[in-house]
Amino acid sequence: MASRPDTASVTFDGTDRSIVLVGMMGVGKSTIGKLLAGKLGLSFVDSDEEIEKAAGMPISEIFDRFGEPGFRDGERRVIARLIAEGPKVIATGGGAFINDETRRLIKEKCRSVWIDADLDVLIERVSRRSNRPLLVGKDPRDVLTDLAAKRTPFYAEADIHVRSDSGPHTRTVNQILEALA
Query: What confidence tier does 131 reach under pLDDT thresholds 50, 70, 90?
Result: low
Question: pLDDT of 72-108, one tens digit each?
Answer: 899 999 999 999 999 999 999 999 999 999 999 999 9
pTM: 0.87
Q: How far apart are CA 55 and CA 35, in angstroms?
A: 27
pLDDT over 50 at 10, yes or no? no
Position 16 confidence tier, pLDDT thresholds 50, 70, 90:
confident
Give the DSSP H or E segment for 29: helix 29-40
Sheet holding 89-91, edge to edge: 44-46, 89-91, 18-22, 110-117, 160-164
The span from the CA of 31 to the CA of 41, in Å, is 16
Out of 2-6, 45-49, 144-148, 155-159, pick the least confident. 2-6
Identify which has the larger pLDDT, 2 or 56: 56
CB 113, CB 162: distance < 8 Å: yes
